[in-house]
Structure 1
């Protein structure tokens, strides 16, 4: 079971590396890592388990954050309705954005990260809508279109695969400067 101590923090060199693509079939170790990453997100969003193990809630986790420099991300984005608990509940291997909107978006409250133990205020501009290609755990090529919050989460995690931290995207001199064509999500 992954715990907060297993997540490396800003300043660790792995977080600034470009992660290596995975080849198929995945090794048993790689499959286990994917399962543990997704399990961590489920545990982190379960109040009882999170409190017991002192986990910070997360909606995404990239393999580099657990010091594995490979192109693998786990996603657990809650849905808005009880009968659809999660919009995304999956692992993506070698994800790539193949198309994106001109329109940008950001979260009103800014972004956080399990690898960053401090608040970094400011808007983090992201594409409003993205088209992704990725592989599932069995090596099947998939594609998906996301917009809004789920698109933001995936872009944040893909940034980790490229050695980019969310605060690299914040305007240093005017952190809350609104860009043209940008919608702000509450």
Structure 2
């Protein structure tokens, strides 16, 4: 089980390195890694497990955050219509995106960052993604709102980019042209 002590923090070189593509069929180690990422985000959202194991709640976790240079992450989110968006994305890509931008009105956070970072992080409002599941099956999804924001945040981890790299250092709350803020309930 992944615990907070396994998650590398801001400043660790793994968070600034482009992760390697995964090969299929997955090794048992890679399959377990994928499942462990999903287990963490699900467990971290359970108030009892979160308290018992000292887990910070998260909706996404990427392999580089565990100091593992592999292109895989897990997302587990309740969407606006209360349907769970929950999947493991291996070798993920954004294949198209909206012109319209969005950002989390309250700002983004990260399990690898132990401080509050103020500012707006511009993201595409809607994206179409392509990735592979643990069996090597390709899938496509259209994501919007929080799911689109979270996917882009985790994809950045696979490319060695941190969310605060997108924030204007001089004007962190600067208006983002063509962007609609996303407010989470």
Q: Aligning the two structures, in what range does the TM-score lie when normalised by the shorter sequence?
A: over 0.9
Find the partner of 2:107 among 79, 87, 110: 110
1:78 equivalent in alignment to 2:89: no
Q: What is the aligned partner in structure 2 of residue 5 from structure 1?
A: 5
Equivalent residue, structure 2, for 1:14? 14
Q: Mark the runs of 5 or more structure 2 residues left unpaired by the alignment.
A: none
TM-score normalised according to structure 2 size: 0.97
Tell me, in whole angstroms, the C-alpha distance in 2 between the residues paired with 1:179 and 1:48.
38
Q: Is the 8 A contact 2:79 2:147 kept in 1?
A: no
2:124 aligned to 123, 127, 130, which one?
127
Which residue of structure 1 aligns with residue 44 of structure 2?
44
In 1, the alpha carbon distance for the partners of 2:50 and 2:58 equals 10
Residue equivalent to 1:69: 69
In structure 1, what is the Cα distance between the partners aligned to 2:110 and 2:127? 21
Q: CA deviation at 1:79?
A: 3.4
Cα 1:79–1:100 shift into 2, 3 Å: closer
**Alignment: residue pair count:** 183
| Cα distance, 1:178 vs structure 2 | 1.2
Over the aligned positions, Cα root-mean-square deviation in angstroms equals: 1.0
CA distance in 2 between counterparts of 1:106 and 1:31 reads 32
Match for residue 148 of structure 2 among 125, 147, 151: 151
- The residue number in structure 1 matching 2:163 is 166
Structure 1 runs of 4+ aligned residues shifted over 4 Å read: none
Provide closer, same or farther for how the CA distance between residues 96 and 11 of structure 1 changes in structure 2, counting only shifts above 3 A. same
> In structure 1, how many angstroms separate the alpha carbons of the residues matched to 2:55 and 2:78?
17
C-alpha distance in 2 between matches for 1:141 and 1:81: 25
Structure 2 SS opposite 1:168? helix
TM-score (ref. length: structure 1): 0.96
Structure 1 residue 81 displacement after superposition: 5.7
Q: How many Å separate the matches in 2 of 1:5 and 1:116?
A: 13
**Other-structure match for 2:98:** 101
Alpha-carbon contact 2:79-2:146 (below 8 Å) kept? no
